[in-house]
Structure 1
Amino acid sequence: MNKFALLVLCLLTVVSLSAQSENINKNPFRQLGQELPTPNVYRNAAGAPGHMYWQQQADYEMEIRLDDEQQRIYGSSKITYHNNSPDALDYLWIQLDQNVRALDSDTYKIGTSKVNERMTLRGLSGLEPTFDGGFKIDYVKNGDGSAADYTIEKTMMRVDLKEVLMPGEETDVMIKWWYNVNDRMKDGGGRSGSEYFEEDDNYLYTIAQFFPRMAVYADNEGWQNKQFLGRGEFALTFGDYDVKITVPADHLVAATGTLQNPNDVLTRKQRNRMDEARKEFVQPVIIATQEEAIEREKTKVTKEKTWHFEAENVRDFAFASSRKFIWDAMAVKQSDGSTTMAMSMYPKEGNPLWERFSTKAVAHTLKWYSHYTFDYPYPVAWSINAASIGMEYPMICFNFGRVEKDGTYSERTKYGMIGVIIHEVGHNYFPMIVNSDERQWTWMDEGLNTFLQYLTEQQWERDYPSRRGPANKIVDYMKGDKEFISPIMTNSESIWQFGNNAYGKPATGLNILRETIMGREQFDYAFKKYANRWKFKHPAPADLFRTMEDASAIDLDWFWRGWFFTTDHTDIALTSVKPFRVNTRNPMVENENTRKMQKAEGENISSIRNREEIAKTYDELDPSLRDFYTDYDPLKATILDEEEYKKYYEGLSEEERAVIDADKYYYELTFENKGGLIMPIILEFTFADGTKEVQRIPAEIWKMDYKKVSKVFPFTKEVTGINLDPFLETADTDRSNNYYPSKSETNRFDLFQSRGRRSSENPMQRDARAKERAGSN
């Protein structure tokens, strides 16, 4: 072989191997291998905790004082850290999340900004930090009272231990601190803080991230000490809490845990009402009325009271405090026989909306989340009214929802409030109990929780206007500009379109798994298995992926890869429909079919015009030109044709005759994967008699060619229409190519854009005005 031929052969081999490699690497059915961590004794290949799984524990004793005059929190704590790991630790990492508000915070530094031609005072104030936030550390001490060596690195603090903490040992760290409480309505919003009510000169406090909290040390990541920049939330360690909170004596306090000293802080009337509420499973009982709250607003006291709470096996602690609070409660029975108190606190500005819906929404959430996962294990579940965003903590959450001055509210406000309560109370399950790492994977709590929120909302009322869940609601996002879309498996701080990515797309993916790929029974079993395997533990994405497959015997690697690791979207096109029928060779049947086909094809333009313009043809002028073939009809069956067919038919086998007699319709359909994301193929066939039939083809039809596939469908009736993805369950981004015969979906446009301002009147106000107008007439 000469050198040139050898070179050509080598080049062809390289090209061939490269093409094969590219095809393998792009094959959506290749198994998730290098993307997932290797199973080990801590996390096994089935997605469950391994036989040597461990996790740390951090217990807290805290004394907290809320300064209502200066809006400050003062605190001291003793952290008892239990080293259950097999590793010797020479330092501990502690989170100082309030430092995100410090004047030198990186969050301010990395925030982009611009100067516009017209700037408001608020816009100018946002260009530089003015609020003096962040922890002011008075001391950090070792368990023996000696000063500890520590280093603060922005929102994290490393405490260097005097002695190495060996496996199985524990150590104490004592910290004293204070910080200025931010105004949630002014100082950049936030998950917690104060809200000032100018009309009655009072504050409502929703307080969280208020103490130095232990970072997670885990088998799969070591110390989770990523800096808190504001978006990626929290990775926290389970432990027991003993917390004393000192507040103005006329405040009501809600907190994580169980109140230990009700006789010291509640009136006899409030205690009696609470006893009544513990027996009420249908309607909430008012513990502190609106009238009583209004009186407290007027007569502020200078004395203080200390509320004492204890909580077992929780990952965090939060509380709310105000003299404005109205309080109601009702009992919720768990399937194991235990009782949980669903409770709400809210100012009069939330009524009548909150009194009517909040606590019932809490109870409803506990019922249905428990149905899909496990019984709610804690004694209380609080919903606290706050003006801004919703936020969650163990046993307590802060939720928006305020009415107009006249007590009316919009439909959006009502369903937004119910939805946020369901969502935030639902976070008790994910991540407060199934304790995923929010700093790294927002979707593991927000996405799973949004999915369960959708299921729970649909149990609230028929056609509840859920924002997220069904596949068709994610279409606009999926077909957007890929430059501004991130894979779900992206770190929390680096996500484009945070809500769609971390909430909407994961929730939609789970709903597609449940409705289309796995089926409700298999999905619900596997999902409940995941929740129970990892409750009160620290799961990672691979644990979810592996459990869902392990518990269902369904290979989902293709789905996890496409939906979670890429930005591909679903666009399956029905590009070709070819009808066929078996040639029976029966002249009485086939000749008539041929005649119909010829007629259906129509005439060409020349034949049409010749018939109109040629007055007489030659043979019409001279009939002697006409012979046998002039009027011969080749499609007219004769007795000889019938005899020949009878002889042919009798020579067929019984199976062959059955095919001939069935005379089925065969339709060859070709599909193209234009979006890159494979999905099952769901087809609705409409027949000539008006009936319909749905066929579901698993996603594995794409396993040999993920770009283009064909499949033949036999029927006993003629098909007149085909609809691909008829129930909007695959998030197909272009439905114009989903039909046979093809059709376009009509879009509407506005004739003109009104220049007038829309009315701010809500439907309740409009209805009242209409009734007033009708009465005056």
Structure 2
Amino acid sequence: MTYFRRSMSILLFAFSFSLVAQEANYGNQQLFNEFTYREGNVYRSASGKPGPEYWQNSADYNLEVSLDDKNHMVSGKVTIQYTNNSPETLDFIWLYLEQNRFTENSRGTLTTSVLGSRYSGDVEGGLELTNISAKTKTGTSSKHLISDTRMQLFLDKPLAAKGGEVTISMNFKFKVPVEGMDRMGRLDTKMGTIYAMAQWYPRVAVFDDVVGWNTEPYLGAGEFYCEYGDFDVKITAASDQTVVCSGILQNPTEVLTKTQLERFSQAEKSDKTVYIIKPDEVGKPISNLKNKGTLTWHFKMENTRDVAWASSKAFIWDAARMDLGDGKTGLAQSVYPIESDGSKAWSRSTEYTKGSIEYYSKTYFPYPYHNAINVAANVGGMEYPGVSFCSYKSKEAGLWGVTDHEFGHNWFPMIVGSNERRYPWMDEGFNTFINHYSTAAFNKGEYPTDTDKPRGIVKYLTFENREGIDTSPEVAHARNLAYTAYYKPAAGLFMLREYILGTERFDNAFNSYIRNWAYKHPQPNDFFNHMENVAGENLSYFWKGWFYGNGNIDMSVSDVKPHEGNYLITVENNGQIPMPVELQVTYSDNSTENVSLPVEIWQRGNSWTHLLKTKKSVKRVVLDPNKMLADINTLNDTWDKK
């Protein structure tokens, strides 16, 4: 009896193992495995929040500069109060000298194709520095090394951890480039030159808990990663110049005429655009204080990672009130030349700026600055805290699109301070994603948006020379960068919201991510972890497949057949990225039924058969009926009864 029972147990075990072996196919397990080191620590928690000992350093700036509009020169002094909040001492401080990009021997120039690109030209610039010093409690040091667009400033003694302070100061001077890699520069117009000023002062590089000093050179495609701090900025220019800058003007009565002050007061209360300088006033006494040789414009901005400014005697200037919620208001402004004037062009810029800022402020996170200023320049589109540079040629949908996109950047990366130089998808992709919803909402859908059509990027997804989202912006081919940084990550977020998680779960997680990382420095894993923890979903398969891979989505309905009075529907995963399955079944009486299958059906293999319990006759089955997925082959998504 004991032998019989033991023999039967062995036989039953063998039979059970045989069944499991037939059912299980572990070839798909790698699609669902974790793909990076995503465990938490005291600085960054496993839940995707800043950890209990999270830290970041800070830098406050005092800037005093003068604009010489005859020789196109900027000169001045920067004083930086830098605080080391990290748990380690620092022997030196790294700073960025981004104007050094505009020299013949810069790394950026030498790595730009001879065929030219957006980053070509402008090699007669570069920073001229004097009186460099770093002063601590123990002494002063001027020892430094300049390497391309970076400067290593050595200290007399290591800067103390957890609160050590150093005062860095230097004088600087540079010639304003004409085309500053489509990010800043100068534009000649009928009534004068427009100066769009960015990357214009020596600034501290970020020291963080992930890589230490972030010292990637400024080559061109990669943008910026900055510490937060308070800025005090004084800009001296000829009295016929109008100057706008990030932050709030501190001395309006000293630089504006009585008429302009009155109009400013009116604009602060108006939802309609109000002229500060009218088109027919440009170049006339009402628009400036000509009895003064020069004027100094004083601005302040708190808790920001950067400031930018613009100056010209050619500016038309208008403004309108922004409603930022909770009783807070701000001022949307635009400055532009007469070449850009018109009801289909820049005369609507302030309306666009107001609409964009108000939407994002209400939907995601309150806009933290008082002013939002759109500047018409020879820059296609570039963002800075509170200031955007957009093409002076833009009109209608094009002007709305570039205005909305650049001001959307105030949320990514100005509020959520990600590293643009390493991870452009964390600002460009996120911003392109939220642009879709703001465009759909603006003026009851006045302008079209197609981010809700992920299949629109299938041509790129099947392109032989495509590159992944994780490709460095400096490495990505110029024709691919728009997809790797903008369109593909935006399509991924759209699918995550509208198809995988649903709007409520996604919005809870996404808005929580913004709140928790406002004015901080998140890494990709922080985003992944936080979205999963708040939404309650393991999304490793999606992060790995879409954001860190070059595979594609391709699911199909391969068979539908009767089975014991019901139906068996077989779906297949022909691609490299598993996804949940949404089916729409149409019956012979033209009624429909939706079927949802979880992503876990693909864990054991690439084919799955679902039992549809129904007494009706099935006429048609469509996968992804709302066309939410970037499925590269739509020909196999539909089964029709023949």
Above 0.5 in TM-score? yes
**Could you say what secondary structure the match of 1:27 adopts?**
helix
Deviations 1:115-140 (A, max 9, x none): xxxxxxxx7x9999673121121231
**Could you say what secondary structure the match of 1:715 adopts?**
coil
- Superposed counterparts of 1:470-549, under 5 Å: 470-481=453-464, 484-496=465-477, 497-549=480-532
Q: 2:177 aligns with which of 172, 178, 182?
A: 182
Aligned to 1:380: 371
Q: 1:423 aligns with which of 386, 405, 410?
A: 405
Q: Distance in 2 between matches of 1:490 and 1:296?
A: 53
Q: Distance in 2 between matches of 1:480 and 1:297?
A: 57
Aligned to 1:11: none
- Given that 2:129 and 2:172 are in contact with CA atoms closer than 8 Å, whether structure 1 keeps it comes out as yes
AA of the residue aligned to 1:239? G
Q: Distance in 1 between matches of 2:611 and 2:246?
A: 60
- Given that 2:497 and 2:503 are in contact with CA atoms closer than 8 Å, whether structure 1 keeps it comes out as yes
1:681 aligns with 2:590: no
AA of the residue aligned to 2:164? E
AA of the residue aligned to 2:32? F
Say which one has the larger Rg: 1
1:260 aligns with 2:241: no
Aligned to 1:724: 623
- Given that 2:186 and 2:377 are in contact with CA atoms closer than 8 Å, whether structure 1 keeps it comes out as no
Deviations 1:295-314 (A, max 9, x none): 37999969211100011111
Following TM superposition, by how much is the alpha carbon of 1:111 offset from its aligned partner in structure 2, in angstroms? 2.3
Q: Distance in 2 between matches of 1:169 and 1:193?
A: 37
Unaligned runs of 5+ in 1: 1-20, 115-122, 404-412, 583-665, 744-777
Following TM superposition, by how much is the alpha carbon of 1:338 offset from its aligned partner in structure 2, in angstroms? 1.6
Q: Distance in 2 between matches of 1:225 and 1:469?
A: 37
- Given that 1:686 and 1:692 are in contact with CA atoms closer than 8 Å, whether structure 2 keeps it comes out as yes
Following TM superposition, by how much is the alpha carbon of 1:581 offset from its aligned partner in structure 2, in angstroms? 3.9
Following TM superposition, by how much is the alpha carbon of 1:667 offset from its aligned partner in structure 2, in angstroms? 2.4
- Given that 2:177 and 2:185 are in contact with CA atoms closer than 8 Å, whether structure 1 keeps it comes out as yes
Aligned to 1:209: 199
- Superposed counterparts of 1:365-764, under 5 Å: 365-402=356-393, 413-460=395-442, 461-462=444-445, 464-481=447-464, 484-496=465-477, 497-582=480-565, 666-705=566-605, 707-741=606-640
Q: Distance in 2 between matches of 1:376 and 1:214?
A: 25
Following TM superposition, by how much is the alpha carbon of 1:478 offset from its aligned partner in structure 2, in angstroms? 1.4
Aligned to 2:60: 59
Q: Which moved more, 1:258-267 or 1:462-471?
A: 462-471
Aligned to 1:221: 211
Aligned to 2:14: none
Deviations 1:221-270 (A, max 9, x none): 21101111111111100011111001121111111111011011000111
Distance verdict in 2 for CA 1:354–1:269, change over 3 Å: farther
Q: Distance in 2 between matches of 1:81 and 1:24?
A: 53
Q: Distance in 1 between matches of 2:416 and 2:403?
A: 19
AA of the residue aligned to 1:196? D
Aligned to 2:241: 251
AA of the residue aligned to 2:330? T
**Could you say what secondary structure the match of 1:38 adopts?**
coil
**Could you say what secondary structure the match of 1:493 adopts?**
coil
Root mean square deviation of aligned Cα: 2.5
- Superposed counterparts of 1:31-70, under 5 Å: 31-32=34-35, 35-70=36-71
Distance verdict in 2 for CA 1:298–1:458, change over 3 Å: closer
Aligned to 1:160: 154
Q: Distance in 2 between matches of 1:24 and 1:697?
A: 20
AA of the residue aligned to 2:393? R
Following TM superposition, by how much is the alpha carbon of 1:537 offset from its aligned partner in structure 2, in angstroms? 0.6
**Could you say what secondary structure the match of 1:234 adopts?**
coil
- Given that 1:517 and 1:698 are in contact with CA atoms closer than 8 Å, whether structure 2 keeps it comes out as no
Residue identity (%): 36
Q: Which moved more, 1:59-68 or 1:134-143?
A: 134-143
Q: Which one scores higher on RCO, CA 8 angstroms, separation ≥ 6?
A: 2
**Could you say what secondary structure the match of 2:459 adopts?**
helix
Following TM superposition, by how much is the alpha carbon of 1:451 offset from its aligned partner in structure 2, in angstroms? 0.6
Aligned to 1:104: 105
- TM-score w.r.t. the length of structure 2 is 0.91
Q: Distance in 2 between matches of 1:24 and 1:83?
A: 49
Following TM superposition, by how much is the alpha carbon of 1:463 offset from its aligned partner in structure 2, in angstroms? 7.1
Following TM superposition, by how much is the alpha carbon of 1:27 offset from its aligned partner in structure 2, in angstroms? 2.6
AA of the residue aligned to 1:87? E
Distance verdict in 2 for CA 1:135–1:570, change over 3 Å: same
Following TM superposition, by how much is the alpha carbon of 1:341 offset from its aligned partner in structure 2, in angstroms? 1.1
AA of the residue aligned to 2:571? F
- Given that 1:265 and 1:307 are in contact with CA atoms closer than 8 Å, whether structure 2 keeps it comes out as yes
**Could you say what secondary structure the match of 1:309 adopts?**
strand
Unaligned runs of 5+ in 2: 1-23
Q: Distance in 2 between matches of 1:476 and 1:127?
A: 27
Greater fraction of residues in strand: 2
Following TM superposition, by how much is the alpha carbon of 1:486 offset from its aligned partner in structure 2, in angstroms? 2.3
Q: Distance in 2 between matches of 1:172 and 1:298?
A: 39
- Given that 2:240 and 2:283 are in contact with CA atoms closer than 8 Å, whether structure 1 keeps it comes out as no
AA of the residue aligned to 2:210? N
- Given that 1:435 and 1:539 are in contact with CA atoms closer than 8 Å, whether structure 2 keeps it comes out as yes
- Given that 1:241 and 1:310 are in contact with CA atoms closer than 8 Å, whether structure 2 keeps it comes out as yes
1:360 aligns with 2:351: yes
Following TM superposition, by how much is the alpha carbon of 1:141 offset from its aligned partner in structure 2, in angstroms? 1.7
- Given that 2:119 and 2:181 are in contact with CA atoms closer than 8 Å, whether structure 1 keeps it comes out as no
Aligned to 2:75: 74
Following TM superposition, by how much is the alpha carbon of 1:369 offset from its aligned partner in structure 2, in angstroms? 1.2
Following TM superposition, by how much is the alpha carbon of 1:681 offset from its aligned partner in structure 2, in angstroms? 1.4
Following TM superposition, by how much is the alpha carbon of 1:438 offset from its aligned partner in structure 2, in angstroms? 0.8
Q: Distance in 1 between matches of 2:506 and 2:563?
A: 39
Distance verdict in 2 for CA 1:691–1:61, change over 3 Å: same
Aligned to 2:30: 27
Deviations 1:387-424 (A, max 9, x none): 33110111111112527xxxxxxxxx411110111111
AA of the residue aligned to 1:137? L
AA of the residue aligned to 1:487? G
Distance verdict in 2 for CA 1:452–1:46, change over 3 Å: same
Distance verdict in 2 for CA 1:453–1:581, change over 3 Å: same
